[in-house]
Amino acid sequence: MIFGCPRQKTGIMAGRESRSSVCVKMCPQQRARHEAYSEPSKDAQSWMAAASQRVCAHLNKQKSRQVCKLTAAAERQNQLTAQLKAAEARNRVRQLRQHYQNLKAGEINLMISCQSNAQRAVRLEQLLPVRERKIHHTDCMEQLQVDIFA
């Protein structure tokens, strides 16, 4: 016997009547309590299964999008890092080459200054690397020319 429902008769749970007829005879509050712990119908079970599949598919799609975004960002970061490392390596090589050339030019200049003969000095001077002077195109006139026009 279930308490709290005045309409319910005794002896209903004897097994003669079906579940739906038992629920129909209960008051709404008692029916809600009873249905809360009973198995859902097959339609409701199929709807819940389909809904859970849709939710899982949606979550998987979101995760895959996030993974794609993360991999793209990580790939870009790796590319930038590689470019920076390559630029630093090129700069180091350039600096080493320039340092070596400066040392070599200094040695040759020292040898030139130590020569007793001008002919030997000229021969050694040919070994020096050619260095162009930078020309500033902003002011091509020499100081004398500026004084003449002023």
Sequential pLDDT tens for the chain (150 residues): 455 555 544 444 444 445 667 777 888 888 888 888 888 888 989 999 999 999 999 999 988 888 878 788 888 999 999 999 999 999 999 999 999 999 988 898 898 888 888 888 888 888 877 776 666 666 666 666 666 665
CA geometry: angle at 77 spanning 73 and 78, to 5°? 120
* Separation CA 9–CA 20 (nearest Å): 15
This prediction has a pTM of: 0.41
* 3-class secondary structure, 130: coil
Compute, in degrees rounded to 10, the torsion defined by CA atoms 22, 12, 7, 30.
-50
d(CA 115, CA 105): 15
Question: Nearest CA to 3 among 20, 32, 26?
Answer: 26
Rg (CA), the chain: 47
